[in-house]
Structure 1
């Protein structure tokens, strides 16, 4: 039998009666950052996925290369990592639930606390918009209803509007700080005030996927909020600062009344043995991880100052990216970046998110901005 004999396009094969859940047709598709195109004479750079451009530490790579038990299932509780995090964060190991990245940890939480009720009504999940583009997908797949609250003009959360959006059906509220893709953080004072306005039976998730890059002294610390508020859940990941995006390891931190139910919905073996060992090694060499992160923070400062020197207006950048509010000029700018062998993340006609990458990549990005006459100018 040759390959061509059964080389029929699968989409052309009729499968009567097989249809997805109705919600699937209503959900947006997650769009991953595109790789850069090859341009003759130029080194290509990917600035579209908020990845750490540098590989993990040598000690972490060694932990990965010496893993010899991949024929066995991983520890479903990630005990070694939870114990390491317990000491690192000074929280009980029982309050930590691991997942496949912070998104995996979020999906576990939504599957546990928000969805469709026996009477057919859907729970509500409130979150800012625009924010992490997986939010509406995760909420919809859980069977819950998205309540999107538009951001303020400066890219920050409109916490007043979010508090006013709470109803009896609200089960979960998502706060993204720094907000992806716009960049600003929430402050301690803002979150404390917000929590006072939210019913104690509503879970408030503080998504801190980019907390490693935050240098704002007033920024909220999710772990501090968790210590004093029983309804707070913190999400963190090793994907960004530690450079382990390809291994998918994250976690949530919350109190026992929440974690006891989260463990029921936790995906078995979501964190591989290799990922767990790499995360443990990253924690044990945290000072070296911070050194690398600080290099990216310094580059972020250079990029932000460079944009401001051009007269461009951008939101406060506290993640490993900057947001360009380009509106209808978004596709044009993304195409020009592509011609310079730079892959950036365009969001329709809203704006462009550009990851802080290698020094040469950042320099080329600034050079492109210097020649672009339609940037978001300071009014």
Structure 2
């Protein structure tokens, strides 16, 4: 009797288990089918700067894998100067710039050795981010012999990227163990994009790249037109998409001194002090790790420099020179209006191809003098 009951119980459990598994499979299959048939909609919760996170991950992982002997640190000022000089063209897309990790013109014209420079520059970085990137490299045992630090006024005062003390670089490293995004399939083809709560901007096109589906867009909260345009563009055929992105990117980068004025002024003294302290810590980090550091102050157009009060510029130069001199670090300067004209810039901040070529030639002459 007991044996019969035990057998019956096992049979019931087995049937129920099989039914549960089958029900789960059928449920997922039904959701998948509905999602394939129904139009795809994205419900966007503002959050992760997804594109930037991928660029940071890719560049940092490559730097760790390659163990660079000579490292470039910088922002889009450096990215434009390196890629445009190397390729001879101003026709960049955001992907081409952010993925660019070479400095061939520098290697051939200035270094003239067999060491290939690794370019870890990323758009929107401030000096505090430079320090974070180098510190993380050292933490995983990658110690370059020399580091070139490319800075401009914007790398100390730009208010476009940071919110408080955090940035997309710091969030990337602080949140490594936490998934930044996840996709939740829902009925009627809906996808909810969740986010890391510390991040502020969504590059919506990233979701389209993953799912390869034309969207009908819905959003929680405000949605900037620029983000919507980028999302739509990424669903065209690849050639048309790239063409549109390049055109849109060039339009975005046209001289807009009104926008820069809002980002620079009024100058946040506390933030400037924090960035200067990070710059000082970066130089100390290099010295303490036996790394030869060199600082290059990037050219800036007269129009952009004209946004900044003369007294501020004078005090800024004094602090920069005094920091580098105290630590016996070479400083290569390109003060506004000295070697470059406004025609050398694609917009009021970033060098065009001709300006970039001129920049590396001028840097070659300065380094030759300092030897």
Task: State the TM-score bracket (shorter-chain normalisation).
Answer: under 0.3
Greater percentage in helix: 2
TM-score by length of 1: 0.24
Bigger-Rg structure (1/2): 2
